[in-house]
Chains A and B, each alone.
Chain A
């Protein structure tokens, strides 16, 4: 019997300080995801393939709820649709009790189709059309107002509606995060938010039920949430005392990080990202000290996305080729690129081989298959000696990739959900040329002639 082959490797030894973090963290083989063999999944559904773990989705949600509810009595999560709006993913979270947080008419429709009751849909975003506002108002969803144009549009709409639309005011504020996110909502410090609130209350045509803010994304500090919670609570107090309008909920938005490692970070994400317990501690502590009587505590809404889904997603793929670059570096070309793994612009994703290898590793650049220079997944990663046909697993890809992926140069692959028993269920088919062609139309003058050219007569 022939021996197992590993391609020959020779590397120069460089004297220098040892890496205190070690060098083999990504070389550990990952042959199974939730008990399902990577090899089998790729054989059945094709490569590349996104895989989601239902078990992990539910675990994340339950842990998040526990983190907040053990510290604050009234908590509601609203699933951030834009993070991953696959119906199966949304339905898992809705089954667990999440409302829907949407930022477009399209997402709003998806929430309805997923069976979310209108009053449990929070409609964010700066680009709601008149028709979308009307639909949301008729369904008794809460419209999170983003700017005065939207406010006046809704006030006009409300005149013809049987009941007052329920609204919340999106507030942007200085929570110590710079650059400050001030493009969404009404600014607190310059009085814009209070102006909007006053107009809403004075109009009598809208029901102000909530205050909302979203201070940033991938927040690596808990402190700004304490500042934001304090400012929203103060604003709610002003609504009560000055306008006689009790605020039913405070929505602290999302922005909680996953444990992915940001590009350029010195330490891995697992060491630097605060846990949800730490965020919950700061927020709950602030609200408890804000002066509300226990029976008056507003509902706390959280629009967590990334932290609930990122580590439940995997991207499985295959090595297409290996080559050497001009400067001698190894390059590995995979069958998925930045078109599918959008987050590789932000993170140094952990990538594992899906098969067993020897202890020999090498530094390699990871490229995708697109004929574009930007299609680089990792600038340098230490991996075993991969060959064409070897399979790999990319970790923590559940957030944003399955919504921000592009149909660019290549088609988008299938997505599979592994249920609690590790059984695979296809939840999105791989795209086909026929699917893409359906949306295109060719003007008549570019179509082939309706009458086929006649065949020249043959000589008798």
Chain B
């Protein structure tokens, strides 16, 4: 799973897709995940990182991860 190369992301959560002209706002965790995806970290690796860092149950994270991925796909932000 890879973020499209031309997608611009900022540390404050602003995302811009120059191909479509769409812009998005992300909260802290979504921003962090996008940054990690940009670094080519694998989903499993990112999830492990998040479980170590945040107070969250694995199944909650799994559910939210799937939802985020579906959103990214809908917004045409993934390759």
Q: A324-B67, A324-B70 are in contact. Are A6 and B28 (CB under 8 A)?
A: yes
Taking CB atoms, residues of chain B closer than 8 Å to A6 are 27-29
Contact A10 B71 (CB under 8 A): yes
B74 within 8 A of A: yes
Which of under 10, 10 to 19, 20 to 34, or 35 or more describes the interface residues of B? 20 to 34
Question: Which B residues touch A11, using CB under 8 A?
Answer: 24-26
The binding surface of chain B is classed by DSSP as helix
Q: How far is the CB of B21 from chain A (nearest CB, A)?
A: 10
Which residues of B sit under 8 angstroms from A24, Cβ to Cβ? none
Task: State the CA gap A4–B72 with chains docked (Å).
Answer: 23
Within 8 A of B (CB), among A354-375: 358, 360
Interface of A is mostly: loop
Does residue A289 face the partner (Cβ distance < 8 Å to B)?
Answer: no
Asked if A10 and B55 make an inter-chain contact with CB atoms under 8 angstroms apart, the answer reads: no
> Which residues of chain B (25-79) have a CB below 8 Å from chain A?
25-30, 33, 52-56, 60, 64-65, 67-68, 70-72, 74-75
B11 at the interface (CB under 8 A from A): no
CB-CB < 8 A to A4: which residues of B?
A: 54-55
CB A354 to nearest CB in B, in angstroms, measures 19
Separation of A8 and B77 alpha carbons in the complex (Å): 15
Q: For the complex, is A21 an interface residue (Cβ under 8 Å from B)?
A: no
Interface size class of A (residues with CB under 8 A): 10 to 19
Q: Is the CB of A387 within 8 A of B60?
A: yes
* In the complex, per-residue mask of A1-15: 1 if CB is within 8 Å of any chain B CB, else 0: 011111111111100
The residue in chain B whose Cβ has the minimal distance to the Cβ of A324 is B67
Across-interface contacts of A12 in B (CB, < 8 A): 22-24, 75
For B65, the chain A residues whose CB sits under 8 A away are 8
A402 to B11, CA, bound (A): 49
Residue on B with the closest CB to A360?
Answer: B27
> How far, in whole Å, are A11 and B70 apart by their CA atoms in the complex?
12
Q: Which residue of A lies closest to B70 (CB)?
A: A324
On B, residues with C-beta under 8 Å from A are 15, 22-30, 33, 52-56, 60, 64-65, 67-68, 70-72, 74-75
Q: 30 A-B contacts, Cβ less than 8 Å apart?
A: A2-B53, A2-B54, A3-B53, A3-B54, A3-B55, A5-B29, A5-B54, A5-B56, A6-B27, A6-B28, A6-B29, A7-B29, A7-B64, A7-B67, A8-B26, A8-B27, A8-B29, A8-B64, A10-B15, A10-B25, A10-B30, A12-B23, A12-B24, A13-B24, A13-B25, A328-B71, A360-B27, A385-B27, A387-B60, A388-B60
* A-B pairs, 9 with minimum CB distance: A8-B30, A5-B56, A7-B64, A2-B55, A360-B27, A5-B54, A8-B29, A9-B27, A10-B26
